[in-house]
Structure 1
Amino acid sequence: MNTNTYQRYKDPKTCFIPTCSKTDLKNPDLKFFTVRKELKERWCQMVGRKCPSRALFCCEDHLNFEEDLENYGQWISGAKPRLKINATLKNFSKKPLTAINMNMEDRPSTSSAAGMQVSHSIDSAIQCDKRIGVSNKYVMAQAKTQTRATQFRGRKIKERVIPSRMMQLPNTEESPNQSPSLFGTSNFDSSSSAQQEHIEKRGREHLLKIIANKPKLFLGLPKSFWWIINFIAQECSCLAFHIILTFFKLKNNDSFARMSEEFQMARSTIRLVFEKNVVVLSTYFQNCIYLPPLTEIKKKLPLAFKIRYSNVQCIIDCFEIQIEKPSDPEKQAQTWSQYKSCNTIKYLIGCTPAGYISFISQGYGGRTSDKAITEWSGFVDVLPLNAVIMADRGFKEIESLLSTKNGKLLRPPSVFANQKMLKKDVIKTKVIASLRVHVERVIRRIREFHMLKPHSVVNNKHIKYLDDLVIIACGLSNLQNPIIKDV
């Protein structure tokens, strides 16, 4: 057997079993093994002693190397031994707790104060035993107040008599379902498990109550439309709590690990709930995004449009959302945005002059031009005949697409490098820019959902759900108050 020695602790290693007095100083040939944290409490209860917070050691007389060491082969070769979590003690006799070994540790202390406390406690306990007639069979008659590490002379301390009620021994056979805690002994049985579940349920209910009081802050849903959660749950055969989880993730973009602590659920469960309900909610909120008839648009037309541009039906623009850099070089090139200088997904959005979202396209790579998205997204197909569209300068090439439905494009006049703009063009540019800003306000409202922020860096696993998330955000935005109050 390997006889390699390990680095010695400052204090000698002593077998933690009260009836075994072997140490590595008296018995240098014996092997001492560190007791695992998982075994300390159970073994101390078996041998009848208090479980201290310091490290404990067990000599080889109470162990079987081949059965109790999980790295027996490596230990023979010189590795540090490690006990199995199900190791068992052998060749020991249980010693009942007394008033002395219940309040002190059997390990000699290296501090002078601890040495004087041990001596004083033993002398007082012996006198008390004689006074009240308690057998001192297990009381230590002699105690070392000086060791090789503690060469000192303790000062005299006035002795105190231990009251008889302190000599009453507690029941040493503690229940296996009890363990010490900061608030006394706690029972880890079926009742405590049920109590823990009850506490978690109350915490979840408290959080849901806070969300219900301010749903727009936590979910992006106006309080007047809180009823829609139960309505969707009945129509789509899903749980209202799962819908709240999905809205919460979209609005706050908390990690699944953080949400598991907030809602007292497993992280994997929250992820599955989110991925499942995103598709369901997208199908429902798709019905909230449509282009109203021209008569309805004119009824809610803002005052700024009534003067010159009362026939405008839709204002369009594009916005981008940053994603993680794809591992595929081809996808990196397709999603690279020269404008944002990062990998993005690009969307075309259209709204009425009053700010109602009437169109949202699918996601395209960041390098896709505005004209290509307008053509591929099917935006022209949803427009009625003779529609008037307002856009930025970047959409000047879509006039040919609108001509198929006899549509008209309102945009600021083009700017040339060597040509000065006319006064009327400058005025027209300012007027259109002041009216087109409403679509920017709509996009800003969508950005309030933190998963859709410009630099939210959407995880590659969630890119396939990004179109559904944008549809849900647009539907929730349409349920909020109009962006323009004077309609």
Structure 2
Amino acid sequence: MEEVKKLSYKYCIVPKCTNTTRKTPDKVFFRISSDAKIRKQWCKVMRRDNISPKSCLYCCEDHFNSKEKMYSMVEERSFATYIFVSKRRMPLPKERMAVVKMQRLTLVNEALSSEIAIKSSVSEPSQRSDHESFPLLILRRHCIVTKLCKLILNRNYRSKGVNVNIPTKKQNVALSPFPFVTQNIGTSPVKLSVLKRKLFTENTADTISISSYFSTSSTDYEPSYQSESSEVLSDSEKEKQFKYEMCSIMLTAIEKEPKMLLGLPKQSYHLIKLLSDNIPLPSKHILITLKKIKLNESFSILALQFGCSQSTICRIFSRSISLIAAKLKDLIVWPASSDIYNNLPISFRRRYGNVVSIIDCLEIQIEKPSNAVHQSLTWSQYKKCNTLKYLISCTPDGLINFISDGYGGRATDVMIVQDSSYLQALPPNKAVMADRGFKDLSCLLEAKRCTLIRPPSVSKSTPSTKNEVKLSKRIAALRIHVERVINRLREFHMLLPHACVDYNLIPIIDDVIIVACGLVNMQDVLIKK
């Protein structure tokens, strides 16, 4: 019977330990006492759930620090403390994030409520003596710091290092018996010296309140939180200050980057002052209008940036655009033929020295009108949407010398040339360069004794000859300058191909494109010599 007991199967109950009497028959297995307290102590050390006191359980010899004394340790009540802390034992159970979050919120609320109570106690004069009130204040502050420190404490862990207490002369600001003095509106070196003398005076009266430790008189220095509370701005004052700061920041940004925000080069920024001197508008209104044209931001965003209401921005834009356009229209000039020839690029001088104008049309998408007739007049078969169409002309060196009024997208290119004042501005005996779409324009130019230079027409039935292909390539390489001018206009976001201009803004689009053309002429030369 005894031999059967010796051969009975035993296993170690320590988690992650695989020792058994079959795998490791040479190891010694110790039976765990059936006492409930002892078994609870075993479970705590092994990091496992409580086990039944009735079951017969064993622990192998690998989990004891000293094998020489382990036989005597098992017989004693305190044997569980000598168990070896194995790296293979079960890790500590992780707390749920929701529980940890609730604990942190509770600590924060307790700390904040304690701080509010201390502030209220400091603001009200106490009738107790210094020896009673001041230590109480220090104790409460210490409690606040203790609670706040609990928020950042990590989980306890077993350290293998040696813990020593190193004396230090550092003093925690929050635990100091006197509040840390910060420089604010009410501080000065004189008041600080008076404060020190008052704190260490031995002949103070017994009826001095806590507030006497923080101020020399009723109007002298107070702690930073009291000074802030006494100087709190009202909501209206805060809003005014915010609008002022936003406006000043935006004006500074515009002055620093006028090309990006206004489309005006930095060397030409003096134009803003000239406009302000010659039209009854402040500089701020001019900047708002130009920024709207350049970036096409909503009126609500402009109101936030310049510290105004949205309705005010709308009124400023609608009133200013026509005045600015009337002045910048003077920048769109048709130079004399001699001036055009003197500034003619080298690529034009050999074959096309008589060219004074390169023309093209640009279209801007608008919102679909509610009127069916307007829908038909503004529908563009080329863009497949409702558009406004403009005729633009530039000199060979890239200067915009003509911009027409807006027409519906249904109007043809030749119709716009005929209806606008372009032919009246064109000098006689000169050449005009255009695209293939202006093939019917030659008869109109013959009346002015002018010639039309355009690429040869192509057809599906007859292929182009070698000379026609060379001519098309040569003219396209020179006509590209008007496309580059249009690309500069497209940098103004209100003139993008698919800007989808609001239907209510259509009456002022003519002024917008005039302003944009004037600003483009103020930029660097298109063709650098």
TM range (shorter): 0.5 to 0.7
Residues 266 and 400 (structure 1 numbering): CA distance in 2 closer, same or farther, change over 3 Å? same
Which amino acid in 1 is paired with 2:265? P
2:381 pairs with 323, 334, 338, which one? Answer: 338
- The AA in structure 1 aligned to 2:428 is L
Q: Is the 8 A contact 2:361 2:389 kept in 1?
A: yes
2:310 to 267, 270, 273: 267
2:303–2:313 Cα contact (<8 Å) kept:
yes
Tell me the CA shift for residue 169 of structure 1: 11
Structure 2 counterpart of 1:391, from 434, 450, 453: 434
> Which range moves more in the overlay, 233-242 or 439-448?
233-242
1:445 and 2:485 equivalent?
Answer: no
The structure where helix makes up a greater share of residues is: 2
2:528 maps to a residue whose letter is: K
Residue 319 of structure 1 is matched in structure 2 by 362
In the TM superposition, residue 214 of structure 1 has moved relative to its aligned partner by 1.3
CA distance in 2, matches of 1:377, 1:286: 16
Q: Which residue of 2 aligns with 1:277?
A: 320
Task: State which of 503, 508, 521 in structure 2 corresponds to 1:460.
Answer: 503
DSSP-derived class of the 1:343 partner? strand
Shift of 1:307: 1.4
Gaps of 5+ in 1: 1-112, 122-128, 134-164, 171-180
- Confirm whether residue 436 of structure 1 aligns to residue 479 of structure 2: yes
For 1:375-414, what aligned pairs fall within 5 Å after superposition? 375-414=418-457
Structure whose alpha-carbon radius of gyration is higher: 2
Residues 296-307 of structure 1: pairs in structure 2 closer than 5 A:
296-307=339-350
- 1:11 paired residue number: none
**Alpha-carbon offset, residue 417 of structure 1:** 2.2
Q: Secondary structure at the match of 1:262?
A: helix
Residue of 184, 193, 203 corresponding to 2:246: 203
Q: Does 1:221 align with 2:264?
A: yes
What's the secondary structure of 1:405's corresponding residue?
coil
Matched residue of 1:279: which SS?
helix
Secondary structure at the aligned position of 2:464 is classed as coil
Which residue does the alignment assign to 1:249? 292
Query: Number of paired residues?
Result: 327
- Which whole-Å deviations, capped at 9, do the CAs of 1:439-481 have from their partners, x for residues lacking one? 0000000000011000111011111110000000000000001
Residue 289 of structure 1 and its aligned partner are, at CA, apart by: 0.9
SS at match of 2:447: helix
Q: CA deviation at 1:380?
A: 0.6
Identity of aligned residues (%): 42
CA distance in 2, matches of 1:211, 1:437: 32
Give the one of 472, 475, 480 matched to 2:518: 475
Q: CA deviation at 1:420?
A: 2.0
Q: Which amino acid aligns with 1:200?
A: K
Q: Distance in 1 between matches of 2:253 and 2:362?
A: 33
Distance 2:245 2:407 in 1: 44
- Give the corresponding residue for 1:239: 282
Structure 1 stretches of 4+ with a deviation exceeding 2 A read: 183-190, 192-200
Q: 1:404 and 1:296 mapped to 2: Cα distance?
A: 24
CA distance in 1, matches of 2:527, 2:230: 59
Question: Structure 1: how far apart are the matches of 2:210 and 2:491?
Answer: 65
Alignment partner of 1:427 is 2:470: yes
The alignment's C-alpha RMSD in Å is 3.3
Find the aligned partners of 1:202 and 1:421 in 2 and give their Cα distance. 65
Cα distance between partner residues in 1 of 2:473 and 2:483? 15
**Cα offset, 1:210, TM superposition:** 1.4
Partner of 1:102: none
Partner of 2:432: helix, strand, or coil? Answer: strand
Aligned mate of 2:409, from 366, 370, 373: 366
Cα offset, 1:225, TM superposition? 1.2
Q: Secondary structure at the match of 2:456?
A: coil
Aligned amino acid, residue 289 of structure 1: I
Deviations, residues 157-187 of structure 1 (Å, cap 9, x unaligned):
xxxxxxxx9xx999xxxxxxxxxx9x97476
- CA distance in structure 2 between the aligned counterparts of 1:245 and 1:356, rounded to whole angstroms: 26
Q: CA deviation digits over 1:119-157, x for unaligned, max 9? A: xx9xxxxxxx9xx79xxxxxxxxxxxxxxxxxxxxxxxx
CA distance, structure 1, for counterparts of residue 236 and residue 503 of structure 2: 38
Distance in 1 between residues matched to 2:252 and 2:303, nearest whole Å: 17
Whole-angstrom distance in 1 between the partners of 2:440 and 2:314: 42
Please give the alpha-carbon distance, in whole angstroms, between the structure 1 residues aligned to 2:233 and 2:472. Answer: 75
Do 2:406 and 2:510's aligned partners in 1 also have CA atoms closer than 8 Å? yes
Distance 1:338 1:404 in 2: 30
**Pairs within 5 Å for 1:22-101:** none
Residues 386 and 409 in structure 2, CA contact (< 8 A), matched pair in contact too = yes
User: Match of 2:337, as an amino acid?
Assistant: L
Specify the SS of the correspondent of 2:478: helix
TM normalised by structure 1 equals 0.62
Cα shift at 1:199 = 4.4
Cα distance in 1 for partners of 2:443, 2:342 equals: 30
Superposition deviation, residue 406 in structure 1:
0.6
- Counterpart of 1:220, as a letter, is G
Amino acid at match of 1:443: I
